[in-house]
Amino acid sequence: MKQLTPMGLVKIMAQVTAIMVIPILGGAVAGLLIDKALETSPLFVLIGVLLGTALSATGIWLLIRAGTRGEPVARSPRHDG
């Protein structure tokens, strides 16, 4: 197994943070805007946060799966071998 450098760890932490924060925050903001337009208080914010959380969990799972296989994250899932 390849040893990570401190800069490699920083890059991984930044990637994990982006994968987690952007979808959740984006879902909350989109839900807030929809709630404001439709005058429905917490409904779409909660839906947006839940969808963002599911998207984040999927992104983290794909990142871990690619890391355990030793593949670059950008590689296509249809790649053979």
The SS3 call for residue 73 is coil
Tokens read off for 44: 């779409």
**Reported pTM:** 0.74
Would you state the pLDDT for residue 74?
58
Residue with tokens 């005058």: 39
Q: How many CB atoms lie within 10 A of CB 59?
A: 18
The tens digit of pLDDT for each residue in 6-57 reads: 898 899 899 999 999 999 999 999 999 999 999 998 999 999 999 999 999 9
The tens digit of pLDDT for each residue in 55-76 reads: 999 999 999 998 888 766 655 5
Domain boundaries, the chain: 20-64
- Residues 21, 22, 27: CA angle, nearest 5 degrees: 105
- Spatial separation of the C-alpha atoms in residues 48 and 72, rounded to whole Å: 29
Task: Kindly report the length of the chain.
Answer: 81
Would you state the pLDDT for residue 59?
95
Would you state the pLDDT for residue 71?
62
